[in-house]
Structures are given as structure tokens and as C-alpha cells.
Amino acid sequence: MNKQFDVVVIGGGPGGYVAAIRAAQLGWSTACVESESYADPRGEVRLGGTCLNVGCIPSKALLQSSELFEQAGHSFVMHGISTTGVKMDVATMMQRKDNIVGQLTGGIKGLFKKHKITLLPGHGRFVGREDDRWQVEVAGETVDATHVIVATGSRARHLPGIPVDNTIICDNVGALQFDSVPKRLGVIGAGVIGLELGSVWKRLGAEVTILEALPDFLASVDQAVAKEAWKVFTKKQGLDIQLGVNITKVEVAREGVTVEYELGDEIRILQCDRLIISVGRVPHTEGLGVENVDLALDSRGYIGVDHNCRTNLPNVWAVGDVVPGPMLAHKSMEEGVMVAECIAGQKGHFNPDTVPWVIYTHPEIAWVGKTEQQLKNEGIDYRTGQIPFAANGRALGQGDTTGFVKMLACAKTDRILGVHVIGNNASELISEAVVAMEFNASSEDIARICHAHPTLSETMHEASLAVDKRPLHLTLMAARDTR
């Protein structure tokens, strides 16, 4: 007889492993299928998916190392600390990153043991349905499940005619394991990966050129933030970002990569030693056997789901990057929890309107809710409060005053509609705005909350006061000047 489970999760990334843990907590016998995409040094399958193995966690480790290198070389001096001969040992930086990945992926295996979740290593594939139970084949064995949660994630989108070898031409996998700092790095796509990984190698000394197809920089980000980011990245940090390009040819030769592209009427050539392709990600359903059970995909290849992540099939659910919506680890995890709770007959909660975004450049960029351009397009009447970190004592003490907090609130109800931060620690500051928006708070609610002094969070407080034209530590005129 086939092994029987209440819940089988296919995919062990943030969506899948969290769904499995929550299902087990709720008392279901649970298994998680994870293919051999990622393996530890002993060849054993690793949990954690893209996020832990080749995404969020390794990229943030490299961002931290490279930021410290940058600070040691350029920012310590303002504190009176002199440094000479600061060097980066790339192998040590990579080993540290790998250790963090190993620690966290191993930790999930520990969590699985604790929750008595069965790990089924191998590629999972739907093979059919019998007696109201789904059959999933894994490594030649078929298991039966009352519920299946598909969490097979995404993979990097590649461009036709540009072969990725993950040594010279890399997607996120190769770009996180360079063995040396390239002298000249080319990046195609000025999105989240292009900016984060471009920043890493720029800080370590590479000449970085980023080629972006769209004419606008960070088109989906609030335009005030995008404008500030453009200024800092290009003018202060020296990232060469070309907008509105059309890549026409990429050739690899012994001396490196040649990228030919059109910019307006001109044909230009970029010579580089390595090239990162970061032009978005696509949902991963290859080999999943969707055709065996008629699991419906939408026109872009995502698994179609309702607001509770139900697919077109009874008791088959899908979460994370494989379903429409932002491709973010925390969004995947929230959906995983919601589905497990729905399976248990609970209501399940996930609010797509309060999913925060963070770009971990320096300064960091973080936001939640609507941008000013969205509000304009939707004809919503709003008020704005924008306060620069230059007016914040903690930021001055830290020697890092770039950026601002911008709050957008409904003109009629004062309910917060969006908050946009560019600056040091924006990733942490945005949480206050997420909590506020989740509870339908108004800018006045934030204005009445006591914020510790001196902290960067006081800038959020001041921004909420500025919505009502009453900032305490900045004249309204100066607040307006930052826009």
C-alpha cells in the first residue's frame, strides 16, 4: 500500500516548508517533497528553496560583507578611524555566506524532525487521483495525500540566444559564487537582483554597468524614491545604469563577454569579464505532472488560485512564487500558513495589500501600499508627509543621512495608503508602517505613538506629523524641499 499523508507539500522553499510546519502544528500527518536542486556537501537534499540557497540569505550575507568593506575604506575616516591597506578576501567572504546558508538550511531539517514532518527527497509529480486522494510520485515511489500544497517556486528567466553557464554568464546562482572580483561586470536588468548584486561587486571594486530595457528607473517604486535612488546609485556610488536599451547580441570570447545593445539610434558595445542576467523570474511547474490531473495554469504559466490559494482542483492548493503576486519569501510564507489553516477549517489570513517590499541596496529602499503615482492614476485624494533623515539626530550620529520617509494618507479619512522609505535601515523601519496599515491606522495614529529618542523611527513619526502639516523638528518648508 502507498504511504498515506493528510498533507503532502511539493517544494521545500519558504512557501513549502512553512506550510508543512504549520500543517504539522495543526495535527496533520505531513510530508514535504524536495527535489535535489540544492544539496549539502554530503550530497543530501537541502531545504529552504531559492531563498535560503541561492536568494535572500546568501545575497544579504554578501551585501553585508561588501558594505563593511566599503565603510572601512570610505566611511570610517569621518569618525577619525584611519585604515590603510583594507583588503577583501573573496574566498573568506564566500565561505561565511556558505556557512550561513548551511546553518539555516540545516535548521529547517531540525524543525522538520521536531514537527515529525517526513522529508521525501526527489522530484514530485502528480500521477492521478483515487478514492478522493491525490497520488504524487517521488523517486519512483507513489504516496497518497488528502491535500496537496504546491510550492515549487520559480527559476531565473533567461534571454533567448544568451546561454547561461553560471561562470561567465550568470543568473542568480552563479552571481552569488564568483571566485574573484571581476574587473568589469555587466548586468542585464536594473531590478532588485541587478541593483543588489551590482552593488555588492561595485563596492568590492568592479566597474559595473547595468543595462535596463525600460526607459524609467525603478518604474514600480514611488517616483520620489526612485529619483533619490538614481541620484545616489549613479552620482555618488558610480553605478553606470543605462536605461531604455535593447540588447541585440551577446558573445563570449576568451577575453570576456561582448554585449551589443541599442540605445536610441546608437549601437553600443559593452565589454565585461562577467555578465549577470537578472530580468525577472518565471514560475516553476516543469515535470510537476499538471497535465495528469488537469491542474490549471494561467496564460503566463502561474498556477491559478483564488484569494485562499485554492487551485481549480479539490484539496489542491498552491503558494509562493508559483502563483501570481509578488515573488517574495515573506509573501510565500504567509500564504503557506494561510493554506495550512484553511485545511484545518480555520479562516486563514493573508492581506496582499500590506506585503512590504525591500531592496537591500545602500541606502535601503522599502515600501508598503500604494505609490503616489498609483494614487494619482486612481484619482484618490491624498495628503503627503515627507521628512529627510538629515533632520534626524540618530542618522547624523550614525553619519548616514541619505534619504527620507514619505507617508501618503487619504485626504478624507486620513487612513494610511502607502509608506515609502529610502535610507539606512529602511528594511526595519517599514515594519511600523506595515503594522499600521494592517490595522487600518491613520497618520494621526502614528503621530500619537511615542517613538524612542534618538532613533531613525522618529522620522516615521515626523512624516506622520507632516501629513497634517505640523512636523516638530523641521519647518514645513524644509520638509517640502525634500520632495
Binding site for ligand NAI (CB under 6 A): 159, 188-194, 196, 211-214, 247, 278-281, 326-328, 358-360
Residue 37 binds which entry of ligand FAD, ligand NAI, none, with Cβ cut-offs from 5 to 8 Å by kind?
ligand FAD
Q: In whole angstroms, how large is the CA radius of gyration of the chain?
A: 24
Residues that bind ligand FAD (CB under 6 A): 10-16, 33-35, 37, 49-51, 55-56, 59, 123-124, 151-154, 172, 193, 284, 287-288, 320-321, 327-330, 332, 360
Which amino acid belongs to residue 159?
L
Instruction: Give whichever of 10 and 293 is closer to ligand FAD, judged by the CB atom.
Output: 10
Q: Which residue is nearest to ligand NAI (CB)?
A: 191
Residue 189 binds which entry of ligand NAI, ligand FAD, none, with Cβ cut-offs from 5 to 8 Å by kind?
ligand NAI
Query: Is 349 a residue of the active site?
Result: no
In eight-state DSSP terms, residue 304 is P
Instruction: Give whichever of 278 and 311 is closer to ligand NAI, judged by the CB atom.
Output: 278
CA–centroid distance for 23 within its chain: 25
Minimum distance from CB of 18 to ligand NAI (Å)? 17
Minimum distance from CB of 158 to ligand FAD (Å)? 13
Instruction: Give whichever of 123 and 147 is closer to ligand FAD, judged by the CB atom.
Output: 123
Residue 348 binds which entry of ligand FAD, ligand NAI, none, with Cβ cut-offs from 5 to 8 Å by kind?
none
Write down the residue that cell numbers 522538520 correspond to: 112
Minimum distance from CB of 198 to ligand FAD (Å)? 12
Of residues 284, 330, 349, 453, which has the active-site annotation? Answer: 453
Residue 182 binds which entry of ligand NAI, ligand FAD, none, with Cβ cut-offs from 5 to 8 Å by kind?
none
Instruction: Give whichever of 118 and 258 is closer to ligand FAD, judged by the CB atom.
Output: 118
Residue 151 binds which entry of ligand NAI, ligand FAD, none, with Cβ cut-offs from 5 to 8 Å by kind?
ligand FAD
Minimum distance from CB of 401 to ligand FAD (Å)? 25
Active site residues: 453
